[in-house]
């Protein structure tokens, strides 16, 4: 098992404390699950990207490139990623 060190601000630390419930005996367990959840969410959004790209292809004489760009922007918006 690998070890990492992170630093977080007081606000995020307080949110972490509030979010923990009796299911988690340590912050490490909580953070591991949060990371797993985030990875799974990204994988699901990438799958939706491909599905969305496929569903947009051919509509209103849209090119595959245009459909892909729309899908990428939608996924980026959902992940709060700036493409600028």
Question: Block means of pLDDT (10 residues each) for the chain, length 84 residues?
Answer: 92 90 88 91 80 63 74 82 80
Distance CA 8, CA 22 (A): 22
Boundaries of every domain in the chain:
10-78
φ and ψ at residue 43, rounded to 5 degrees: -60, -40
Alpha-carbon separation of residue 76 from 23, 42, 50, 57 (angstroms): 32, 10, 13, 19
Radius of gyration (Cα) for the chain, nearest Å? 18
Token pair, residue 34, equals: 């949060």
pLDDT score, position 36 = 93
Max CA separation in the chain (angstroms): 55
pTM of the model: 0.56
């Amino acid at each position: 098992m690998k070890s990492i060190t992170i630093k977080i601000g007081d606000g995020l630390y307080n949110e972490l404390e509030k979010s923990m419930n009796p299911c988690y005996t340590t912050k490490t367990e909580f953070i591991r699950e949060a990371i797993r959840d985030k990875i799974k969410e990204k994988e699901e959004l990438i799958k939706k990207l491909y599905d969305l790209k496929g569903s947009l292809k051919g509509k209103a004489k849209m090119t595959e490139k245009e459909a892909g760009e729309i899908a990428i922007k939608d996924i980026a918006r959902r992940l709060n990623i700036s493409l600028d």
